[in-house]
Amino acid sequence: MQRCGKINHSISPPRGGIMLEEGKQARTQVIVLISIVILGSCLGNLSQTALNAMFSGMAADFGIQMELGQWVTTLYMLVLGITVPVVTYLMRRFPLKNVVLAALSLLVVGAAVDAIAPSFEILVAGRAFQAVSAGITMPMMISIVMTSFPRDKQATVMGITGIAMGFAPNIGPAIGGWMIGFAGWRSFFVALFACALVLLLLAAALIARRPQADSSARLDGLSLLLSALGFGGLLLGFSNASSFGLASPYIWAPAILGVLFVTLYLRRQKHIEHPLTNLHIFDSWRYCVSFWASNALYASFMGITLIIPLFVENQWGGTTLQAGLALLPGTVAAFVVNPLACLLVDRIGARPVVAVASAFLAVGAVSMVFIDESTPFWAIVALQGVRATGVSGLIGPLTSWGMADLPHEIMTDGSSFGTAVRQACASVGTALMVFAIAMGSSAGMSLVGFHAAFAISGIFAVMVFGLAVARVR
């Protein structure tokens, strides 16, 4: 990976951005565009986590073991991780409206397939379509914000995108659980299809076609292959950690191959005329700090959305309702704290906001190491709330602070590559936590396993705090 350094801003965009440069009509169009993309990303993230509550129903209907059912999520993560790096090329080569319509169309098709899926294999295929859609909309959302709004408004708007990045994933399990109890798991995909179709029709009618396509953009086939093998291998290896022992070749073989292919991918990007990822993003020390801090953040918190319900139900002895309520602070924090934190970044700067938020994250994550069966439920919820407040106060501010230092021409590179690596790091953190719990259970010390999982989250949280305090300026 290219060494972080000082970026050349000679190709930076005008500070005003599209919103200020092209008048009222242009501002309206940008607002319409970003609103539709945010909603599309919300649907993708919602579908990603809602399935956690529907595994048992799906497995029962198709007569499969839960281990096989996990491929609904595993394949989704694989396809998403493979798709994300291609977004840079898509946004350069084709008009944004075309890319948005393609992403939403894939979501519609995927939801329709899953709503009527006659077999598990068809269900998984439908999830692949949905993953491609999410892989396009997630980095696109960040890129549009950072290239279309003036610098003093970027963090504020990024806070709104926090609804897609934080609120939607947190509320997903609750919605999935409610719908499977109300009308079965297929009802979720029917609702997803209806929402996606409405959004697609709105996009077709309201988004203006802008002539921003660059016909000179080229897609390097070998880079695409190396990216797919690299990120796919990493995600597959870490996903398998929940089903196999650490010594299993199903874990380390794809992980090692993933590291090898990602390395080859990065080396190739330095020497070709049309790289899939422009590595000059790492010339910015701010982007570097944001990149590593965000990776540690995702490694810390994504697994917790799975671990907390497991702890409440299996170790603490709570109900399914209590397991869902334990995640409620994360839902509320994502909806309130993220926009507020990003607004404060525009008002007082990133350093104090990120420092306070990372302190909340570290205190909440480390404190959870000490909970056990005797811990009052309100205390578990409170600690989860402290941790979730830190997460929500960091996602948007870290992203906007780091991305704002990149030249206009490579912001999409920064958002797409950053998203791909964050997905891999989220899988790493989750796999380590699940493995710790599995090892504890096999040794007859389940509480020790949960404590180890919480400790892993705490270590990554402390890393975020250290980077935030030492490097964010």
DSSP state of 404: T
Q: What is the pLDDT of residue 153?
A: 76
C-beta atoms surrounding 359 within 10 Å: 17
Report residues of the chain scoring pLDDT below 70.
Answer: 1-25, 52-53, 56, 65-70, 163-166, 169-170, 173, 210-215, 242-243, 245-246, 320-321, 324
Q: What is the pLDDT of residue 320?
A: 66
pLDDT digits (tens, 9 = 90+) for 202-261: 999 988 776 666 667 788 889 989 988 888 888 888 777 766 766 778 888 988 999 999
CA atoms within 13 A on the CB side of 296: 23
Q: What is the pLDDT of residue 358?
A: 95
> Which 3 state secondary structure label does DSSP give 211?
coil
Q: How far is residue 79's CA from residue 36's CA, in Å, rounded to a whole number?
A: 22
Q: How far is residue 213's CA from residue 222's CA, in Å, rounded to a whole number?
A: 23
Q: What is the pLDDT of residue 27?
A: 74
Q: Judging by beta carbons within 10 Å of its beta carbon (0-12, 13-18, 19+), is residue 208 exposed, middle or buried? A: middle
Q: How far is residue 446's CA from residue 454's CA, in Å, rounded to a whole number?
A: 13
pLDDT digits (tens, 9 = 90+) for 28-53: 788 888 889 888 888 887 887 777 66
Q: What is the pLDDT of residue 246?
A: 66
- Residue 116, CA distances (Å) to 57, 188, 190, 201, 409 in order: 15, 11, 9, 22, 43
Q: What is the pLDDT of residue 364?
A: 93
pTM: 0.83
